[in-house]
Amino acid sequence: MEAKRVAAEKAVEYVADGMTVGLGTGSTTAYAIHKLGEMVKQGLKIKAVATSTRSETLAKELGIQLVAFADIDQIDLTIDGADEVDPEWNLIKGGGGALLREKIVAAASRRLIIIVDESKVVQRLGLFPLPVEVVPFGWELTMRKLANLGYNPRLRTENGKPYVTDNGNYILDCRIGLIDRPGQIHDRINSMVGVVDNGLFIGYASLVIVGYHDGTAKELPRKDEP
């Protein structure tokens, strides 16, 4: 928990007065939202867009002003977590079930700061199952298509029923194994009819901050792809 907190609080240092801020989803990002709430009470003036109903509820409780997408042109800075990050800052996200909204917010942001603890930093993506958001109609056919590619999909459930995203969709968690070409995998999955989006975030991160269990936080250097 300490590693998540220090990463979140370092990321919040980049937030300035008057910014429109994207609020990600997950346990690490919750620390950032709490810290922003403290800063708002101390006089920081920001507007925020949340990537999930959970983050939205937390932000409201902490007195952070929320705005709708219709009322903004661009997000200055988004702080979000990740389930895995590789040396090129490619990400797997969606463990919390909000990948589509997170990607929409990321795409609308001038900067995306990713905050993780050291366990999320990997040399190659894929140990964490890749979430794929699909429409409920015909989801079984979509799952068979993913299975035929060798992606080993499994329907995410909650209390014995299909997990439903904030957008009313299902999630298929794919156990692909180590991923050599994340961009190709991303495009192949998203080309399937029935798929809404997947949890590979390629080229979105502007900065990755890693929290360590010794209470330190460092920026992760980016290794450019050859």
> Is residue 1 classed exposed, middle or buried when 0-12, 13-18 and 19+ CB atoms within 10 A define those classes?
exposed
Q: Could you tell me which residues come within 8 angstroms of residue 211 by beta carbon, excluding any fewer than 6 positions away?
A: 2, 3, 4, 5, 6, 7, 8, 10, 28, 115, 116, 117, 118, 217
Nearest to 95 by CA among 28, 186, 150, 35: 28
Contact 80, 93 (CB under 8 A): yes
Contact 98, 25 (CB under 8 A): yes
Edge to edge, the sheet with strand 84-85 lists 84-85, 91-92, 200-201
Catalytic residue among 9, 56, 102, 133: 102
Instruction: Judge whether 158 counts as a catalytic residue.
Output: no
Contact 182, 200 (CB under 8 A): yes
Residues carrying an active site annotation: 102
